[in-house]
């Protein structure tokens, strides 16, 4: 049974807009108007029961914490609860006296829209300053090769450039953590996330930087949101060792994390998607969302302005949150 299949409509004697089999992500629920009695064959009932079992499994998975917040798997969505049971089975070739069929009765007149999603960069977007830029000023020796220039010239990937810089850090962990704490994480982040949640917005971080300092700052702020970034660890004498994320649907050779892939995935689910960023690596993802949901500052704002693309400027991340919360759901 495939997403969007229309189930045995001729047998049901119903027009196509009345009965729809939803995709696996919604666990094969059958949507039936309140006043319609359903006639299904045994095979259809077995499929419905299998999908009900799948729904239970999917709900259980969604309740469990993800084993890794950086596993680069698409966001899991909790399937709908079964609200009401109606329906009588009647199959002349394989008779069963009476079977109750689980069906979902949607709110009238249509299914509720999926929650909106804000995809946000971290360095220089959720924080005032970029870790890389602070590291160049305060943690790295002056005589390093120009990895940034090599990246801008296309001779290194963005991931390789950052990884090279981070591996030259020879300061103590305490000194590095002091710099991390001076990145200036949005001070109202926790409150903003609560307000966005109430307004129907989920938030996910996509970063070409390193999860080592992102996880640390988010945990200290008491927030737990999905993070797609490059894993890493700090080892005194060897620097911040950044690694590419494991293979997955949002892996990018250039950035480590495919920010645009995360946006495309959410758009493919029919969600309203906003994007906030500040750097060159944000450009592709930013261009996938409408002008009025594209938030930019810094280098991203400059390249968008140069190419005549519309965007909403912001000075701090809470401006983005406040703007989105003020919009109709």
Binding residues for Mg ion (CB under 5 A): 121, 123-124, 278-279
Nearest in space to 212 (alpha carbons), one of 236, 243, 238: 243
Looking at the Cβ atoms of 12 and 192, the one nearer to Mg ion is 192
Three-state secondary structure along 50-92? Answer: HHHHHHHHHHHHHHCCCCCCCCCCCCCCCCCCCCEEEEEECCC
DSSP 93-111: TS--S--EEEEB-PPSSSP
Looking at the Cβ atoms of 130 and 202, the one nearer to Mg ion is 130
Q: How far apart are CA 269 and CA 114, in angstroms?
A: 8
Backbone angles phi, psi at 231, to 5 degrees: -65, 160
* Cα radius of gyration (the chain): 24
CA 193 to chain centre: 14
Looking at the Cβ atoms of 202 and 278, the one nearer to Mg ion is 278
Looking at the Cβ atoms of 251 and 280, the one nearer to Mg ion is 280
Instruction: Report DSSP state, residue 125.
Output: T
Looking at the Cβ atoms of 47 and 309, the one nearer to Mg ion is 309
């Amino acid at each position: 049974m495939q997403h969007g299949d229309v189930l045995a409509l001729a047998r049901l004697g119903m027009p196509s807009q009345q009965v729809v089999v939803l995709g696996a992500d919604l666990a094969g629920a059958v949507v039936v108007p309140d006043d319609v009695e359903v006639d299904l064959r045994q095979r259809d009932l077995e499929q419905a029961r299998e999908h009900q079992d799948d729904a239970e499994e999917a709900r259980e998975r969604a309740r469990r914490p993800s084993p890794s917040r950086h596993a680069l798997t698409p966001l899991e969505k909790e399937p709908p609860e079964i609200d009401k049971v109606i329906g009588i089975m009647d199959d002349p070739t394989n008779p069963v006296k009476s079977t109750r069929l689980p069906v979902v009765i949607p709110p009238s007149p249509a299914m509720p829209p999926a929650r909106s999603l804000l995809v946000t960069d971290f360095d220089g977007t959720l924080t005032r300053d970029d870790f890389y830029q602070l590291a160049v000023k305060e943690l790295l020796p002056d005589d390093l090769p120009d990895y940034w220039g090599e990246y801008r010239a296309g001779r290194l990937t963005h991931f390789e450039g950052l990884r090279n810089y981070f591996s030259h850090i020879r300061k103590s962990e305490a000194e590095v953590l002091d710099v991390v704490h001076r990145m200036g994480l949005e001070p109202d982040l926790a409150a903003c996330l609560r307000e966005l949640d109430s307004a129907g917005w989920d938030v996910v971080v996509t970063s070409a930087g390193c999860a080592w300092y992102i996880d640390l700052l988010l945990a200290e702020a008491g927030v737990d949101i999905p993070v797609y970034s490059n894993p890493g660890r700090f080892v005194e004498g060897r620097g911040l060792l950044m690694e590419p994320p494991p293979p997955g649907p949002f892996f990018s050779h250039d950035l480590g994390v495919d920010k645009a892939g995360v946006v495309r995935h959410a758009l493919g689910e029919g969600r309203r998607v906003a994007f906030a960023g500040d750097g060159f690596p944000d450009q592709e993802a930013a261009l996938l969302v409408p002008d009025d949901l594209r938030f930019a500052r810094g280098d991203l704002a400059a390249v968008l302005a140069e190419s005549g693309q519309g965007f909403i400027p912001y000075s701090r991340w809470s401006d983005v949150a406040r703007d989105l919360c003020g919009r109709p759901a």
